[in-house]
Amino acid sequence: MTTAPPPLELLPRDLAAYRAGNTGIPYVHRFDSGQPGPHVLVNALTHGNEFCGMVAATHLLDQEIRPRIGTLTVSFANVGAYESFDAQRPFESRQLVDNLNRVWSAELLDGSQDSPELRRARELRPVVAAADHILDLHSTSQDVEPFWVYPAYPRNAQVALAIGRPAVHLVMPNGLGSGVPVIQHGRHGIADSDAGVALVAECGQHFRNATADVAVAVTLAFLAHFGLIAPRTGLAPKPPQRRYELLQTYVVATPQFHFARPVIGFETFACGELIATDGGTEIRAPQDCTILMPTRAPIAGREGMYLARAL
């Protein structure tokens, strides 16, 4: 069952001024310090209605933030979906056809399938491949606490824990199970400790101003961690960290998918407890678990929820 649209505090802005970039790839901007150091990619708008990343990316560009060492790349990914935004249907501009955050396998990128998202992923492929470290900025349909998402490699955990905000971590021991995201493209999807860090930051509900504030803060902290900008000062102590391990990504099978009780995310279910029904199928907790990212409006073939266990 869908719910009423939330208040729209955060709205899109015209990105035409950022289209040309300076890399030959639309909406991609790169700044080389001329000094040795890592190449960091800040990626926004992987999903078209997740405006917090747009705010963080335009902040970097508008404030002319430049790296002291290494290279900074700022990318606006799915601008086509972003430009389709309709305030009367605010969740519909997530994507045009495909989920741009599930198409980063060699099979799809090198294959014959076509969609606006696949064309954009092929265009952005060298941008993602060139980065040593990746921060992919996202937001959530429900108003829940921000959290990191990353493959369960020590290099990712070390950086997310060192930054400390968000304080919640969803770690993926075996990927998402529903496609390959940006942060697992190429070398970032292997356990080699030298492959570089790649994190998603889910910064809060799509249309809240506070979500944009989180995205800007996370971006600056990420850049400071790798030395591209000066260390940030005057921050409050890091809160206690909470970590979850992804057990399963459940993909909706039928239009009759329905949760057993109202959920927005971070609800717990006891082993065997009914979480949802999907047509004639009951989805029960495989063990004591927590659900994250429950779908707001179930669509067959799209993700319905993540099942996770507390670590």
To the nearest 5 percent, what fractions of the chain are helix, strand and coil? 25, 25, 50
Domain that holds residue 286: 245-310
Q: Do residues 132 and 38 touch, judged by C-beta distance below 8 A?
A: yes
Domain identity same for 63 and 111: yes
Which residue stretches of the chain have pLDDT < 70? 1-5
Token output for 188: 């970032």
Domain identity same for 90 and 136: yes
**Structural domain includes residue 240:** no
Domain identity same for 193 and 303: no
Query: Other CB atoms closer than 10 Å to residue 193's CB: what's the count?
Result: 10
Tally the domains of the chain: 2
Query: Other CB atoms closer than 10 Å to residue 122's CB: what's the count?
Result: 14
Per-residue confidence (pLDDT) for residue 178, from 0 to 100: 87
Which CATH number does the domain housing residue 289 bear? 2.40.50.630
**Structural domain includes residue 154:** yes
Per-residue confidence (pLDDT) for residue 6, from 0 to 100: 76
Per-residue confidence (pLDDT) for residue 50, from 0 to 100: 98
Per-residue confidence (pLDDT) for residue 3, from 0 to 100: 53
pLDDT, one tens digit per residue, over 137-162 is 999 999 999 999 999 999 999 999 99
Per-residue confidence (pLDDT) for residue 1, from 0 to 100: 42
pLDDT, one tens digit per residue, over 219-238 is 999 999 999 999 988 888 99
243: β partners: 169
Per-residue confidence (pLDDT) for residue 169, from 0 to 100: 98
Per-residue confidence (pLDDT) for residue 233, from 0 to 100: 87
Domain identity same for 207 and 83: yes
Per-residue confidence (pLDDT) for residue 205, from 0 to 100: 97
Scored b (16 or more CB within 10 A) or e, 286-304 reads eeebbbbbbbeebeeebbb
**Structural domain includes residue 203:** yes
Per-residue confidence (pLDDT) for residue 175, from 0 to 100: 85
Looking at 225, 260, 285, the residue that finishes a domain is 225
